[in-house]
Amino acid sequence: MNKKVLIMSLGIMFAATFGVLAINGATSAIAEEEMMGENMMGEAMMEEAMMSTSYIAKSAVITDSSELEKVRIYTGIEVPTDGSGGAFGYGVISGAELEAIIVTTTHAGVYDSIAQVDADDASFHNHYVTLHDLEDDAKCPGLEVKDISFQEPGDVSVSGKIVVMEDTPYYFAGTHSLSGDNISFNSDMEVGSIVYFTIDPVNADGETSVTDIAAVCINDVTGTTEPITIIPAYYWEGN
């Protein structure tokens, strides 16, 4: 091979190698940028979620033999009590699961609790509810309210980012908020989940309605991000 051909060959090899390195470097840089972008998007989404009433940062429950003495829920932002946040609530799911859930809710437009002044009263109030999962129900696929108490189990207070339910009994009897039927609930101290949810009353066609309610749908269920702190009342009172 003459000198000229050798130099040309080396030049081609160098150019090819440099090109591959450049491409690999560019590809790595692009991949790194994409990864950083995805991480930033993930962090932004997390920050947005944390700045929400649906974000339950932590929760604590004091249990007694006959009631939940106190349920304290810490949320991501100040909890609106004037209806501006829409219809939503928080629930405590025990060993009774969907059969007996203690909830506290805020909504305007529907008078479903003795604790409300009228239908426009969006102040928080407690219910006992039974839910069922009707996947084949076109108007409300998913979780739907089966029973809901008009009477209020225990009390509730909201201050800033903190929601507190107190003295909610495991056994509770009353009347159905919508039908007026006699109903009762049996819960227990085995708290498994504390959740956020939204409420959507719908008519027979599945359209949102507060005047012609055929079903009450429970949507956007979100659980706690941290384990629930459960404290027996005897320990709390003894320390």
Burial of 21 (0-12, 13-18, 19+ CB in 10 A): exposed
pLDDT for position 138: 86
pLDDT for position 185: 98
What residues contact 110, with CB distance under 8 A and at least 6 apart? Answer: 119, 201, 210, 213
pLDDT for position 11: 42
Q: What is the mean pLDDT of the chain?
A: 84
pLDDT for position 136: 82
Q: Give the residue from 221, 200, 189, 174 showing the smallest Cα distance to 69.
A: 189
pLDDT for position 141: 84
pLDDT for position 165: 98
CA distance linking residue 69 with residue 167, whole number of Å: 5
Residue ranges of the chain whose pLDDT lies below 70:
1-51, 236-239
Tally Cβ neighbours within 10 Å of residue 208. 12
pLDDT for position 42: 44
Q: Tokens at residue 97, please?
A: 């699961």
Q: Tokens at residue 69, please?
A: 């003495």
pLDDT for position 134: 84
Instruction: Report the DSSP pairing between strands 101-106 and 125-134.
Output: antiparallel
CA distance linking residue 125 with residue 110, whole number of Å: 12
pLDDT for position 237: 65
Q: Where are the domains of the chain?
A: 1-50, 56-233
Give residue-wise pLDDT tens across range 9-35: 434 333 444 343 343 454 455 455 555
